[in-house]
Amino acid sequence: MGSERIMTTQQQFLDLLSDIEPSTTTVNDCSSAHNTLRSALEVHNTFSKVHVKTFLSGSYKRKTAIRPTTIAGVTQRPDVDIIALTNHTKDDKPQVVLDAVNEALKDVGYTALTINRRSINVKLMKVDMDVVPIISDGYGSYLIPDIHLDEWLATNPPGHTEWCVELNKQANGRFKPLVKLFKWWRRENLPDLKRPKGFILECLVAKHMNYNESNYEKLFVYLLEEIKDFYGIYASLGVMPYLEDPGVPGNNVFSAVTIEEFKDFYEKVKEQAILARSALNEVDDDAALALWRQIMGNRFPKAASHKISNSDNTSRSLIRPALGIGLTFPSNPVYPNKPGGFA
């Protein structure tokens, strides 16, 4: 494969990354919505008595979000996770704590509210938010309520955030962009599959990416092939794999995934890994483009925006998407957080 073809495809991947970023409008809508809600909880006449602090969570905060999906021509609402640290204790029933959040939100004027297993979902015209109450375990970690189990479960919002930041440094700014590409690939190829998605995909990229590679075409092919090779035995035996939660040792991030979901996911990765290898090895520009558009969808650019002339320019271009251009946050205090969010 010629160096010119490599450079052209590299720029096409960078152009795709730019295209799948959440828009400035989306980010501003999210910022306005979460700041308004957080301020309302902080000063609420009842909830303020248990309120310690709120902070953002999920892919919105970690800057691994991609643009909201579009269904039948209608752009879906982005979602933002808000963690509400309270001074409740393990002696308080999870249902009581979630009800307290729900009542406070209702009291300040939110109407489209749903009590979920571990959070309160708030639907607005432009944004969905999940408000997740947590408590301190007294030892520097946190617990999250589960009303189905009627228990408090270990969680680690700061650990997940720090993990993501550290991995992106180790990968020279390429971890977050590769996560976005993988999320986009998943959306294009498995739109109806419930799981795995979101944070599980981040954990898969963390475990299986090549931290020394700088070319996105090669990074993506390597990722798919590593997943194909590593999990083949699990899929064939019908056994769920174990993938460690980077914030809570002993937690399996695959725990909510069914074996049927995992098999469907694996079979698509296996199929597409073969196509991706063919695209990487293809010397003809048009043939390679056709394969990559089959893999990544019709938003994969038909032509590069410009040619990259040297490796220094390549490195600089790679860093921009990693920094989450456009995903800046308000000057209000934002505390360490937990995964979830857009995609």
The CATH number for 113's domain is: 3.30.460.90
Helix (H, G, I), strand (E, B) or coil at 250: coil
Number of domains comprising the chain: 2
pTM for this prediction: 0.87
106: in domain: yes
Q: How many CB atoms lie within 10 A of CB 191?
A: 9
124 and 165 co-located in one domain: no
Burial class (CB in 10 A: 0-12, 13-18, 19+), 268: middle
Q: What is the pLDDT of residue 343?
A: 57
185 and 315 co-located in one domain: yes
334: in domain: no
Residue 260 structural domain: 3-20+160-322
Distance CA 63, CA 160 (A): 13
User: Mean pLDDT lowest for which of 285-289, 300-304, 338-342?
Assistant: 338-342
Distance CA 23, CA 341 (A): 15
pLDDT digits (tens, 9 = 90+) for 166-175: 999 999 999 9
Whether the pLDDT of residue 291 is over 70: the answer is: yes
88: in domain: yes
